Each structure stands twice: as structure tokens, then as C-alpha cells.
Amino acid sequence: MSKPSAPRPTDAELAILRVLWERGPSTVRQVHDSLTPERPTAYTTALKMLQIMTEKGLVRRDETDRTHIYHARLTQEQTQRQLVRDLVDRAFGGSASKLVMQALATRRASAEELAEIRKLIEGRDGREVRDDRD
């Protein structure tokens, strides 16, 4: 009703959001330094990305000081939920259970993860789903 709901972040944008979620509010330099090992780019690339992400509403900018400070507008969980819902719509015909099925078929789903997931299900099972903010 009040949230203009940010657009789906692109790959490069997601990489920057990951940094902001991990570090908390950060300057361009801090984002760039964290990003460089995995994604070697120029300082101005990070700057430009953050400027564009500000326009898109993906991040907020504190301009109080000359060196601006950026922070993610949505939490990691909110964004993850949005991305999952988006993928469920685009590739799973709206069926979340089909997505879970494929998640389980991934090499990545280790035995420990399976156990963790089962705990999740048992915790939720029987209750109604009611958590739906995005």
C-alpha cells in the first residue's frame, strides 16, 4: 500500500546488496573494497551502481557528510522472499512445493541441510502460513 516495492535486483546489484547486508551501512569505498576480491572493478563502477540503485529504490543514501553512506532498503530476508516468489512465478507455475522439490534435488542439499529443512517443516506444519510481508 505504501511501499513502491523495489524492482528485482540484477546480478551486479545483488552482489552489492550482499556486501551491504554483511557490513551494514557503508561508503562507496567500503563497498568497493569488499567487492573487489570476487568482482574486480573500478571504484567508479561501484559508485555508479550505488547511484543507480538509489534511483531504483534498492538502497537508501545518507548525504549528511560529504562521504555518503548507503544502506540496503530491504532486508536480506525480504529480498530473498521476493526473489523466491519471482522464481516460483516465472519457472514453477506458482507452485512453491515444486521449487522445494528441485531445491532438494540439488547437490548442495547436504544431509545436514535436509535435516534442517525437516525441522523447519515440522515447526511450520499444522499452522497456517501468515507471514506475507514483502
Partner DNA sequence: TCCGCGCTACGAAGCTCTTCGTTGACATTA
Partner DNA sequence: TAATGTCAACGAAGAGCTTCGTAGCGCGGA
Binding stretches for a second copy (CB under 8 A):
11, 14, 77, 79-81, 83-85, 87-88, 90-92, 94-111, 113-118, 120-122, 124-125, 128-129, 131-132
Angstrom distances, CA of residue 17 to CA of 11, 26, 42, 65, 117: 10, 11, 17, 22, 25
Q: Rounded to whole angstroms, how far apart are CA atoms 132 and 114?
A: 24
Q: Rounded to whole angstroms, how far apart are CA atoms 115 and 97?
A: 17
Q: Rounded to whole angstroms, how far apart are CA atoms 100 and 108?
A: 13
Residue 7 contacts which entry, DNA, a second copy, none (Cβ below 5-8 A, type-dependent)? DNA
Q: Establish if 66 lies at the interface with DNA (CB under 7 A).
A: yes
The answer to whether 58 and 49 are in contact (CB under 8 A) is: no
**Rounded least distance, CB 27 to a second copy, Å:** 23
DSSP state of 71: E
Q: Establish if 43 lies at the interface with DNA (CB under 7 A).
A: yes
Q: Which of 65/131 has CB closer to a second copy?
A: 131
Q: Establish if 12 lies at the interface with DNA (CB under 7 A).
A: yes
Q: Establish if 7 lies at the interface with DNA (CB under 7 A).
A: yes
**Identity of the amino acid at 60:** R
Residue 45 contacts which entry, DNA, a second copy, none (Cβ below 5-8 A, type-dependent)? DNA
Q: Which of 1/129 has CB closer to a second copy?
A: 129
Q: Establish if 5 lies at the interface with DNA (CB under 7 A).
A: no
Residue that is written with C-alpha cell 507452485 in the block: 95
